Amino acid sequence: MGEKIPFPQNFARFVELGQQASQQQQWPQAIEHLQAAYALAQTFAVNVLLVTALIADEQYQQAATLAQEKVDDYLAAPTECALYLTVLRQTHNFIGGRKICQAQPVVQAATFWSQELVAIEQAEKSYRQQASQQIATLAKALYQLSAVPIYEQLNLVKQAQHLPLTEFIRASRRLLTDRYVHPLLRANFLDELRQLGVTTAVDYLWLDDTIKAVEPADLGAITAASSLQKLQDQLLTVLAADPVLSQTITGELALQAAYLYPFADQVIVQPKIWAAVYQATYTGKKINLTAFSAAEVAIVQQWQKRFNQLTQRLSE
């Protein structure tokens, strides 16, 4: 009998042919077969095979895009996590790789994470030598972040992941005190420094227009403030019968958490009052607020107005 011919929609056969081509280091053929298999079923196993072949064929950006589709799976598996970090290094996503090494999402050998950090440092050094102009151009664009429309700012924030650590921290420190940068983006950069485990105190311009010294490594995640958790839990309990509104509120609370970061607990001192005011605002129903003082309700409403103004700025 001759060689089996891959019939259309034959997932298993495409995988088999892709693996055979990979073993023979025939990467273009392997990629072709594995892409056909992945088009039929987007399994993690095939994703790994295809990403491996793309890396071998030096198609790093395609490998990164594909791996991102299954990022949670990669970070939960020791071998595949190492593969994902390789993808990040090859696409110069140094900050992304460093954040994973800091978080250590999966149990690895004792020296794994330190070795990965060394590999990232070496990759950064090489990238500085090869792409000094690109690094300087991106750093300059970040320094002038507030001068461009918000959609360009968001794109630059993503590109900043491709700066080496020293340059990223330098740019971030400057942006943290730029009053013309949207508070959402300032909070994002502060949280990035937290995820990187930066232990040196930085200056941070907060919503009250004062500069506050904070140590990123000591902070919690943006949405981790206990007051915000209590507020969200109370609202979602009351609105459990309305999943659409619950989803809307969850999204808005995430934005507001960023606006208040990292001092939400100093603002939302009584989540019960906030939940009642929010319920009245979002449902349009008459909620009895007489249990609270008029001054307490007014403070929450003033914060709501401030949040709405900041959110509107994102669409300008």
pLDDT, tens digit (0-9, with 9 covering 90-100), for 38-84: 999 999 999 999 999 999 999 999 999 999 999 999 999 999 999 99
Average per-residue pLDDT in the chain? 94
Does 248 have pLDDT greater than 60?
yes
Give, for 182, the enclosing helix (H) or strand (E): none
Strand residue runs (E) in 165-249: 202-205, 211-214
Q: Which residue has the tokens 């019968």?
A: 241
Residue 234 in contact with residue 287, Cβ under 8 Å? no
What does the pLDDT look like over 151-188, one tens digit per residue?
899 999 999 999 999 999 999 999 999 999 999 999 99
H helices, E strands: number in the chain:
17, 2
Strand residue runs (E) in the chain: 202-205, 211-214
pLDDT of the residue at 4: 52
Give, for 174, the enclosing helix (H) or strand (E): helix 165-175
pTM of the model: 0.92
Count of alpha carbons within 13 angstroms of residue 166, beta-carbon side: 7
